[in-house]
A = this chain, B = another copy of it.
Amino acid sequence: MKQLARFIFLMLFFITAVSMTKQKKTRIVFFGDSITQAGVNPGGYITRMQEAIQKNGTETQYELIGAGIGGNKVYDLYLRMEDDVLAKNPDVVAIWVGVNDVWHKASYGTGTDPDKFEKFYMAIIKKLQAKNIKVVLVTPAAIGERNDFSNQQDGDLNLYSNIIRKVAQTNNCKLVDLRKEFIDYNLKNNPENKESGILTTDRVHLNEKGNTFVAQKMMDVLISK
């Protein structure tokens, strides 16, 4: 009888311990466009982060969730944040958006004005911070990898990245400055000044190296060992 009691006690202790551990998991939602949508595929940057946290023994501390939809601009994120982010009760949201806000100017005539980009970005952050969710901002990496600023959208990508950097500072958000990282990487690793094939397959979406690179940069900011 005593042994049974001890066994039950131990079981309860164990279950409690496990559930407490579970409660401690930091839930991170990656909120973005087609690049993030592909991030959960095999080899994708979120998948690689998952593998990395398994390797470094922090998989019990983090839960990574992809919430990317192709073609999304900042106000698409705003419109679907209730269903796709808040409903998941995240602790951290990494917002990675901007490529389509810039790109769709030329390809559809429906890009986002810089001031509206900032307003909707701010509105998203405000809603998340009101629920005590930590927000991490990510700058749009590239539309074209030429390293002499001769990609058509370079001017706007730099401008919108400047906005994100300012917004990060204003709102005390951590920043993964992929725009800067990609430019620095291409200056060193793109001697032929190619449009794509360094970190991207098609000037925008990540190739194998790109996914590894982004996973690493995200880890540096999002995951503490």
Contact = CB atoms under 8 A, between A and B. Distances in A.
Contacts of A111: 109-110
B107 A107 contact: yes
A116 B108 CA distance: 13
Contacts of A159: 150-152
Chain A, interface residues (CB within 8 Å), range: 20 to 34
Contacts of A5: none
Contact of A152 (B104, B112, B149, B156): B156
Interface string A78-103: 01000000000000000000000000
A148 to B, nearest CB: 6
- Copy number in the complex reads 4
Contacts of A126: none
A22 interface: no
Chain A residues touching B, majority SS: helix
Contacts of A107: 107-108
Nearest to A144: B155
Contacts of A112: 110
Interface in A44-90: 75-76, 79
A162 interface: yes
Interface of A: 75-76, 79, 104-113, 116, 119-120, 123, 144, 148-156, 158-159, 162
Q: Please provide the 3 A-B residue pairs with the shortest distance between their CB atoms, ordered closest to farther.
A: A105-B109, A154-B155, A150-B158
